[in-house]
Chain A
Amino acid sequence: MSHPILSRRLLLAGMGMAGMSVAPARAQSTPRRGGTLTAIVQPEPPTLVSALNAGAPTGVVSTNIFDGLFSYDWDMGLKPALATRWEVATDGLAITFHLRPNVRWHDGQAFTAEDVKFSLEEVWRKIHPRGRATFANVEAVETPDPLTVVLRLKQPSPVILGALNAYESQILPKHLYAGSDALANPLNLKPIGTGPFRFKEWVRGEHIILERNPDYWDEGKPYLDRIVFRVVPDATARAALLETGQAQYAPYSPVPLTDVARLRALPGIAIETRGYEWISPWLFLEFNLRKPELGDVRVRRAIAHAINRDVIAKTVWHGFGKAAVSTIPSTVTRFHNANVPQYPFDVRKAEALLDEAGHKRGADGMRFAISHDFLPYGDDYRRTGEYVRQALRRVGIDLTLRSQDTPSYLRRVFGEYEFDMSSSWASSFSDPQIGVQRFYWSKTINKGTPWTNASGYASPAMDQVIEAAQRSADPAERTRLFNEMQRLAAEDLPCLPLIELNFFTVHSKKLHDVAMGPDAVYASLKHAWLEG
């Protein structure tokens, strides 16, 4: 048996060294205590509590201040954090968490089961955009003693076990939030958690400073004395800070892909793509099935055949992605199904399908015209759109690219359904019920709600599979159902998965142990240490 972490690491190391002449591997393996880490967070988080704002920049900072009940290991298994162990009843209708004793909030109060009950009932289920669905079947939360929490469920909800880290289900202090309007609590800007770092100061527009929590329950950790998160809006300036060593850590693809090769070639800088497996981002096209041409599955399949996903991964995304074979990415190992209908790049087949659908080429060589709205998150998304335009023009579909700012994009695609085809990325998360089902379930056709089923795809067969998976307590059965779901998704093709995205972290080689789990980007830097 090969060790999964070890082999993955060796593989990456091998890939990294192949192109380099000398890679001096400094064998300093014992963590060193102390030091200030300067990190970059971009854009500036609006608030510092992930339980109340699930945005990425908030997640990057907040998970250093707060804990979850668990974190995840490389196989998506639960690793103890505020809870030390858990039990699921055989009928799946109860989940029991045993909490860690002697944990204190940063203000000195004891952490208890009441905090968990409060967070679940008042925050995750009422305010969190995904928690509302994840915990929907929790009927009651019992706290038989201060270190035990029992969730009573209306129906089995294994999805909960995939959503228990410090980012997705963050534990807030009941004694500071109970009775207040959580979203307007002033503590959201100077939070008090149980995590490895304490909040020190936030100078808006400049930086956020966190300091080591000397009373952290994980003894000896964290190693760093201080983390300074700097707010740096310009990508060139971010690259300059990393290049000159003025910043040593920047997650979430902080520099343009065109700059990565240059940075990677510098001796002191590492590019890390691990730590994003728990969110497993994918890039996809969504078709508006209400439009006559795109409502025809033959046209959608033709488009799939006309697009070379390898080109998108290798050229447009500079290798920071992998051609997608199914709607659940391969990094979600438990549920991914590679054995679904494929649409290999084949221009002739695409043309034949379009002919068959009755769209003959006109006098100008074009069959019909559609528009394509791309998510305005930067050049890579625009260039994806430009590639798709070229690829589709080749088979006689005249594509117009539309660019706009993010609120306009969201309003057009999800608010008004005034689009033909859109491209965007989304997180799959470790459980498809959290990340993927929303694009395929007919009950998530919610006009006006971003990141839901905008295609208008409604299939009784699909709904049946999705709803059965929601109810099932048996892991094997759920895997089987989600495999079936992927087969249906590939057959009906309301969304066309393009690539599995590899987000990356840029860090100094003097900073060690940054990607310690599949959710590292949304986990604390408690393992991280700086060489002296």
Chain B
Amino acid sequence: MAVLRQAGKRLVQAVPVLFGVVAVNFLLMQAAPGDLADVLAGEQGAATPEMMAELRARFGLDQPVWVQFAHYLGNLLTGDFGYSHRLGLPVLTLILERLPATLLLMLPAVFLAAGSGMVLGGWAARRAGTWLDGLISVGVLIAYATPLFWAGLMAIVVFAVQLQWLPVGGMRDPSAAYTGLAMAGDVARHMVLPVCSLALFYAALYARLMRASMLSALQQDYIRTARAKGLSPFQVEAVHAGRNALLPVLTMVGLQAGSLIGGAVLVETVFSWPGLGRLAFDAILRRDLNLLLGIVLVSSMTVILVNFVVDLLYGLADPRVRAA
């Protein structure tokens, strides 16, 4: 019941946030020079004044900015995300088309990164100061400092071109019509490189965070008590210290999972992955205002939703948060 009440409160709070997000992005796109009519004329390599006027009238770009904005908001209230005039499809259709690919890339990457980051960080903290800690820390530093696109390109060169173990890119092999298990296997093969490249960077971040927070947890009085009580080292370190050390990492995962929807442009581009990040990036370059606003709106909603879930997880990890 309490959860529902909290959810209701969050929902009400979300309305002004979403409005702000839409308004700011709308205005930012107005500030960018050129509009969709320029883009269409540009990519066709020719235009006439009549064509420019017709296109602008068609897209509503001949109206004053505030009219365009009011029009957009009005549609939004009826659940209409608008239409991408360049791609000839409703914005919602375009977003939903890309959502599975995005989730297929981001969810495994986040779990892989959080899991391996916590294990590595926790391990390094337990052995703080030893050669193992040093090894993990240096590895983490290198992974953290490597540009994402470079790591991706190198992975392609090594695993797809030289060794030819894995495909260069894409989400499936379009020339083979797989079904069932064979299809799942094909998609999994295509997922390996992009998921690992993406996880590499985040894992490094989580490992550093986990190490620091684990170190401070291990200094606490209750750890000494637990040890004195005669609990096994695993119980003490993993359950007592680990659970408390988790909070900062969880916060970070929550923050970053928000960028889940549109945040993987580089990896999507390098690996030809058909996700929302590329769609958003193209929408900016092509001044496809409706499409961009739609994606921004969906990712804002994701941020709000994920933050809510993270708040609930806090309660599970630390009962004191629940009480407050």
Write the residues of chain A forming the contact surface with B, with a CB cutoff of 8 angstroms.
36, 38, 43, 46-47, 53-56, 127, 129-130, 132-133, 183-184, 186, 188-189, 203-207, 209, 226, 228, 230-234, 236-237, 240-241, 243-244, 246, 404-412, 414-415, 426-427, 438, 446, 448-452
Contacts and interface: CB of A to CB of B under 8 A. Distances in A.
30 contacts: A36-B175, A38-B174, A43-B282, A46-B87, A55-B44, A127-B51, A188-B88, A189-B89, A204-B98, A205-B274, A205-B275, A206-B170, A226-B175, A228-B175, A230-B174, A232-B170, A233-B278, A240-B168, A244-B161, A246-B168, A405-B285, A406-B42, A407-B34, A407-B287, A409-B34, A410-B41, A415-B33, A449-B47, A449-B49, A450-B47
B50 A132 contact: yes
A408 B33 contact: yes
B44 A231 contact: no
A6 to B, nearest CB: 32
Given A188-B88, A451-B41, 16 more contacts: A47-B88, A54-B45, A132-B50, A204-B94, A205-B275, A205-B279, A207-B170, A234-B153, A246-B167, A408-B32, A410-B42, A415-B38, A446-B48, A449-B41, A449-B49, A451-B45
B44 A129 contact: yes
Interface in B266-311: 269-272, 274-275, 278-279, 282, 285-287
Contacts of B161: 240, 243-244
Contacts of A206: 170-172, 174, 272, 274
Interface in B32-60: 32-35, 38-52, 58
A184 B84 CA distance: 11
B270 A234 contact: yes
A129 B47 contact: yes
Nearest to B52: A449
Question: Which residue, B51, B168, B274, has most C-beta atoms of chain A within 10 A?
Answer: B168
Contacts of A53: 40, 43-44
Nearest to A206: B274
Contacts of B282: 43
Contacts of A244: 160-161, 164, 168
B160 A240 contact: yes
B156 interface: yes
A183 B58 contact: yes
B48 A54 contact: no
B97 interface: yes
B169 interface: yes
A267 to B, nearest CB: 15
A132 B51 contact: yes
A129 B167 CA distance: 40
Interface in B126-167: 153, 156-157, 160-161, 164, 167
B38 A410 contact: yes
Helix, strand, loop or mixed for chain A's interface? mixed
Contacts of B287: 407
Nearest to A188: B88
B86 interface: yes
Given A204-B274, A244-B164, A407 B32 contact: yes
Contacts of B101: 205
A244 to B, nearest CB: 6
Given A204-B94, A209-B174, A130 B46 contact: yes
Contacts of A204: 87, 94, 97-98, 274
B298 to A, nearest CB: 16
Contacts of B46: 54, 129-130, 438, 450-451
A451 B47 contact: yes
B51 A406 contact: no
Nearest to B41: A450
Interface of B: 32-35, 38-52, 58, 86-89, 94, 97-98, 101, 153, 156-157, 160-161, 164, 167-172, 174-175, 269-272, 274-275, 278-279, 282, 285-287
Given A236-B153, A241-B168, A426-B45, A406 B285 contact: yes
A343 to B, nearest CB: 27
Nearest to B164: A244
Given A230-B272, A427-B45, A129 B35 contact: no
A127 B52 CA distance: 11
Given A129-B51, A206-B171, A240 B156 contact: yes
Contacts of B285: 405-407
A38 B51 CA distance: 35
- Most A Cβ at <10 Å: residue of B46, B153, B157, B279: B46
B38 A450 contact: yes
B88 A184 contact: yes
Contacts of A451: 41-42, 45-47
Nearest to B46: A129
A143 B270 CA distance: 52
Contact of A450 (B33, B42, B98): B42
Nearest to A37: B175
A232 B169 contact: yes
A446 B53 CA distance: 12
A236 B47 contact: no
A133 B48 contact: yes
Contacts of A452: 47
A525 B252 CA distance: 52
Contacts of B47: 129, 449-452
Given A230-B174, A236-B270, A450-B41, A46 B50 contact: no
A82 to B, nearest CB: 23
B278 A205 contact: yes
B272 A240 contact: no
Nearest to B281: A233
Nearest to B171: A206
Nearest to A232: B272
Interface centre among A188, A450, A451, A452 (most CB of B within 10 A): A450
A233 B34 contact: no
A233 B269 contact: yes
A274 B68 CA distance: 47
B174 A207 contact: yes
A228 B173 CA distance: 10
B51 to A, nearest CB: 6
A38 B272 CA distance: 15
A407 B42 contact: yes
B248 to A, nearest CB: 35
Given A129-B51, A206-B174, A449-B48, A237 B271 contact: yes
Nearest to A46: B86
Nearest to A434: B46
B165 to A, nearest CB: 11
A471 to B, nearest CB: 20
A407 B282 CA distance: 12
Contacts of A127: 51
B41 A237 contact: no
B94 A54 contact: no
B63 to A, nearest CB: 17
B189 to A, nearest CB: 13
B48 A236 contact: no
B272 A234 contact: yes
Contact of A236 (B38, B87, B156): B156
A506 B230 CA distance: 70
A415 B39 CA distance: 12
Contacts of A183: 58, 88
Given A204-B274, A231-B272, A450-B38, A54 B44 contact: yes
Contacts of A46: 43, 86-88
Identify which of A130, A186, A449 gathers the most chain B CB atoms within 10 Å of its CB: A449
Given A206-B174, A230-B174, A132 B42 contact: no
